[in-house]
Amino acid sequence: MDFSSPSPPMGSGQSPEALMEQVQAQLQQAYAEELIETLRGKCFDKCVTKPGSSLSSGESSCVSRCVDRYIEAMGIISRSLFSQQR
Amino acid sequence: MHEEQQRVMMNEAVAKLTSVCWDKCVTSVPGSKFSSSEYSCLTHCAKRYADMSMIIIKSTQSKK
């Protein structure tokens, strides 16, 4: 996800292609935010079972693994849904 | 635009199904890789959800 390219304001007479790029960039941003929110919920549930006065190193590494596993799960689900073989 | 809408629907389906299947299949603390039972649960989950979805649609149609 690349947010580094500047985009012109919407509806300033730009081409359909540029508009489409802007739409796609905003969609990507929305997906990223949704994913982060989901990860917060899932990983807090799995890793921080009893909140203490700080996050232990065990809890921190659990969260890190949780993020990796969840993103891996997204790939597994995606391939499973969109592959042709049964 | 139609292509874009399809892509959006696909992305949303993946997001939703991953959430559902994660809850069903990843029952213990996440490890550095999935166990083989977690992995097969995840690979089956999306397809079984789609199968179930078909049953629900057919069943609600026949009740009209």
| CB-based contact B13 A47, cutoff 8 Å | no
Q: What is the CATH number of the domain that holds A58?
A: 1.10.287.810
Identify the band that residue A13 occupies on the pLDDT scale cut at 50, 70 and 90.
confident
pLDDT digit string, tens, across residues A19-70: 989 998 999 999 999 999 999 999 999 999 999 999 999 999 999 999 999 9
- Specify if B1 maps to a domain: no
Is residue B32's pLDDT more than 60?
Answer: yes
Res A84: pLDDT: 56
How buried is residue A76: exposed, middle or buried, by Cβ count under 10 Å (0-12/13-18/19+)?
buried
Query: How many independent structural domains does chain A possess?
Result: 1
Sign of CA pseudo-dihedral A78, A83, B3, B5: negative
Q: What is the number of structural domains in chain B?
A: 1
The answer as to whether B17 is a domain residue is no
Is residue A38 within 8 Å of residue B5, measured between CB atoms? Answer: no
Contact: B50, A81; criterion CB under 8 Å: yes
Q: Which domain holds residue A42?
A: 16-82
**A2 assigned to some structural domain:** no
Q: How far apart are CA B9 and CA B20, in angstroms?
A: 16
Question: For B23, which residue in chain A has the nearest alpha carbon?
Answer: A42
* Residue A55 · residue A48 · CB < 8 Å: yes
In a domain, B46, yes or no: yes
Q: Is residue A41 part of a domain?
A: yes
What's the pTM?
0.83
Q: B55 is in which domain, residue-wise?
A: 37-64
Q: Rounded to 5 degrees, what are φ and ψ at A2?
A: -115, 110
In a domain, B47, yes or no: yes
Q: Does A50 touch chain B (CB under 8 A)?
A: no
Name the residue among A23, A31, A72 with its Cβ closest to that of B11: A31
**What ranges in A1-86 are assigned the alpha helix state H?**
16-47, 57-82
